[in-house]
A = this chain, B = another copy of it.
């Protein structure tokens, strides 16, 4: 069975995106083992630099990772897939990798450069800048779509 872990910073605040997240998480769980992990956000004190916040967030994320996790950092500058391409990648992962496919989405500031650099893969959902909460919804929808592609179901067209 395909094992998918999503690691996000903070809980989702937008009500409609939260609803959408639950909608696709529930569907995705019919096809795959899914872990959804919300890492606590770093408190933003006055005068703290973006860099220092990103570093603290990266540490919080790394503390929650397991050694065998196959980490996929989401960043606009990463590799762009078609939905079919993402599906076959997930399938190869499940066959060849022992660990979880672990998708990491940052805070409103994104992810630290070091974290992006050390991830096993960097994935881009779009060239457009998306809010981190919109990225969650889009990722979940694509993971669900990938599963329906692999099962040959008609959701995907």
Using a CB–CB distance below 8 Å, which chain A residues touch chain B?
14-17, 19-20, 23, 76, 80-83, 86, 108-109, 125-131, 134, 137-138, 141-142, 145, 156-157
Contact = CB atoms under 8 A, between A and B. Distances in A.
B20 A128 contact: no
A80 to B, nearest CB: 5
Given A16-B16, A17-B16, A141-B134, A129 B109 contact: no
Copy number of this protein in the oligomer? 2
Contact of A128 (B15, B82, B108): B82
A109 B17 contact: no
Given A17-B20, A19-B16, A109-B157, A131 B127 contact: no
Contacts of A157: 108-109, 129
Contacts of A80: 126-128
A41 to B, nearest CB: 16
A129 B85 CA distance: 11
A94 B80 CA distance: 31
16 contacts: A16-B16, A16-B20, A76-B82, A80-B127, A80-B128, A81-B127, A81-B128, A82-B128, A108-B157, A125-B126, A126-B128, A128-B138, A129-B156, A129-B157, A134-B141, A138-B138
Nearest to A139: B128
